[in-house]
Structure 1
Amino acid sequence: MSFDAALSAHLQSGATTTCHAWAITRRDGLVMGFTDHDRDLSFGGVTFRADTGLSASALQQGTGLSVDNSEAIGALNDTALSEEDIEAGRFDGAEIVAWLVNWAAPEERQQVFRGTIGEMTRAAGAFRAELRGLSEVLNQPIGRVYRKPCGAVLGGAGCAVDLDQPGYRLEVEATEVTDLSTLRFPPLAGYAEGWFTHGRLEVRSGPAAGLMVPIKADRDTGEGREIELWTPLAASPGDGARYLLEAGCDKRFDTCGAKFDNILNYQGFPDIPGEDWLTVHPARSGGSGGGSRR
């Protein structure tokens, strides 16, 4: 008998022993299990803890392409969901799977929800998390914008740059962290000033390990390098933490060729006429042409 059939037979028996269980998989790979039963459950290689106070409101599901949604609420707990982890964004976009389970026979279960965690709010020692169904991605606009800058993500699909090549990433320890948005490093030999501008900083060790923030500016101070972040780190990295600096791309055609030798994969349109050319009156001179700039 399948899981679904066994649970269906149990529900039709009239005397049920069911509960809900949730498995959360964070983007850093950590898997956490929770249940609203009064005892821990285990199945699928995951232990679902009963002492978290996690529960969920009624699940709204529809046919077709409508967006399923639900909400999870619970108490903040240092050994489960801590306020520091939520503030640091460690649960943003985490995958969540929910089951209806016969706690007397956990092999009898039915998956009732699968999606991701959306907005999370916290107050008075509790949290509230929005659960987004798989059809949520259908709300995102899809299409290509015709513009001069490249539309690809550095190292992602369509770019073809291998960031694991020498020179594109550097792991180093900071000499000073001032206000969580400005970090100072020793001189970075072989990396020109501005090399990491528009790139990304990732904390590799310490209390903030796993946090990633885009880099706003990369300056040579004469005594070392100063990295300014677009947003402050959501948690203090502590002393002795190591950081991974990733090269940045300003999406320009010249940068794609000179810095990454990747012109063949450039995902922009460097020769497209600008707005000034599109609105100019016809003229016999060749100054208003939209010809190739190369």
Structure 2
Amino acid sequence: MRTIPAALAAHLAGDVRTVCTLWLVTRTDGALIGFTDFDQDITYGGQLFRSAGGYTHSQIQSGSDLSTSNLEVDAIFDSDLITPQSLESGLWDFASVVISLVNYNDLTMGAAVLASGVLGQVTIRNGVYKTELRGLAQLMQEDFGDVYSPTCRAMFGDAQCTTDLTPLTFSGSIQSVTGATQWADATLTQTGPNASFADTVGHRIPTMFPYTVQIVPPTGGAFVATGTVKDSSGAVYSQGTPGPGVFSVSPTGLYTFDITAAGGEIFIDFSYQIGYFAYGKVVFTSGQNAGFEMDVKAFAPGHVTLAMAMPYPLAVGDTYTIVAGCDKLFGTCRDRWNNVIHFRGEPYIPGQDVILRPQG
């Protein structure tokens, strides 16, 4: 049931109404920001509500049957607080919103709360953004609690994981930029543990000289040593001077074969060094991206690759902090972090392939 102050209710019952809406937005980073559809800024309850006349909103739909309340807002980018970069970076995701109605000619009449909820999906097109406000009943439609999963459900370093991230966090500055998601910093010399890679996909040897195959280790790791090399028929190759059934390999993982293997399929097992910061996180502390963060896709000593491009271009001199990551696998938790007692997954529970396969 909506409560309306008596003075405001009397004003709404009159023939002439001087009302506007106030939008109080609380972002997940704690920032408290107010907007109003009035043509002037309004200060109410000690909070400044900035005039943002460049938006329209739909009717508020709500019911008494616990169905989700919906409201859509269309607006142009006319505020320095809401930019395409801030929306794309997730700064406004899941922000809580309270919409109130006031008499702008007499704020002492109080406010009537029209709706509240959290911001949902945001779409951007041609300088206009659209967002939806999801009512509190939306929470009733979400699943809560843990589910079975082969990988760990804890966030690396949180209260469930308990791993101390302090000694795994480092600071630096960008020394050179390669593309939108890669940069170099020679001070990042950290190396991760070694791991084995079993090739189940295979590689096709070129039909023309040079008959080479370049190995690309996962997570931007570094090639360490070769393992078993065999063709599609299961014949195992030996290491030496390239010839029939013989290959050579460079320290960077470049495999060389001879013409007798041209066009054939080859399976290469090898060991590699895990990227120390792979699956970790970067938080920028200066430059245009200051305050924004991004996941690390891959890492090799001195070279960082992000999962996605930052809202603003990377620039030489931008400073950052970077923390090591975890791929949430049972073996990584046990062997690398020695934290298997806090592993939040079920790696040995049979999957659907076991349940559905023919029995007997």
Query: TM tier, shorter chain?
Result: 0.7 to 0.9
Equivalent position of 1:209 in the other structure: 290
Query: Within the alignment, does 1:102 sit opposite 2:103 as a pair?
Result: yes
- Of the two, which has the highest radius of gyration? 2
- Distance across 1 between alignment mates of 2:25 and 2:6: 26
The whole-number CA distance in structure 2 between the counterparts of 1:133 and 1:99 is: 14
Deviations 1:94-119 (Å, cap 9, x if unpaired)?
22221111212324102222222222
Partner of 1:137: 139
- Which residue matches 1:265? 342
Once the 2 structures are TM-superposed, how far is the Cα of residue 267 of structure 1 from its aligned partner?
0.8
Which residue is 1:176 aligned to?
Answer: 176
Render the CA deviation track for 1:53-97: whole Å, top value 9, x for unaligned. Answer: 233221111123211110112221253433343344432332222
Q: For 1:218, which of 292, 296, 299 is the aligned residue?
A: 299
Letter in 1 for 2:66: L
Could you say if the C-alpha distance between residues 8 and 36 of structure 1 is closer, same or farther in structure 2, counting changes exceeding 3 Å?
A: same
1:238 paired residue number: 315
Pairwise CA RMSD:
2.7
* Paired residues of 1:41 and 1:47 also in contact (CA < 8 A): yes
1:166 Cα deviation from its structure 2 partner: 1.8
What residue in structure 1 maps to residue 18 of structure 2?
Answer: 17
8 A Cα contact 2:39 2:53, kept in partner = no
Distance 2:164 2:113 in 1: 38
1:27-38 aligned within 5 A: 27-38=28-39
Contact kept, 8 Å, 1:28 with 1:210, in 2: the verdict is no
Does residue 253 of structure 1 match 2:330? yes
Name the aligned partner's letter for residue 55 of structure 1: T
Return the offset for 1:270: 3.7
Moved more, 145-154 or 17-26: 145-154
Q: Does 1:122 align with 2:199?
A: no
**CA deviation after TM superposition for structure 1 residue 143, in Å:** 4.6
Q: Structure 1's 112 and 198: CA in aligned 2 closer, same or farther, altered over 3 A?
A: same
* SS of residue matched to 2:167: coil
Greater per-residue strand proportion: 2
> When the two structures are superposed, what TM-score results if normalisation uses the length of structure 1?
0.81
What is the aligned-residue identity percentage? 32
SS of 1:115's equivalent in the other structure is strand
Q: Distance in 2 between matches of 1:37 and 1:188?
A: 52
Change (3 A) 1:61 1:185: same
Aligned residue among 154, 157, 160 for 1:158: 160
Query: Could you say what secondary structure the match of 2:121 adopts?
Result: strand
**Structure 1 position 149 matched with structure 2 position 226:** no
What corresponds to 2:252 in structure 1?
Answer: none
Stretch moving more, 37-46 or 257-266: 257-266
- Counterpart for residue 67 of structure 1: 68
Shift of 1:280: 8.0
Question: Deviation of residue 249 (structure 1)?
Answer: 1.0
Residue number in structure 1 paired with 2:48: 47
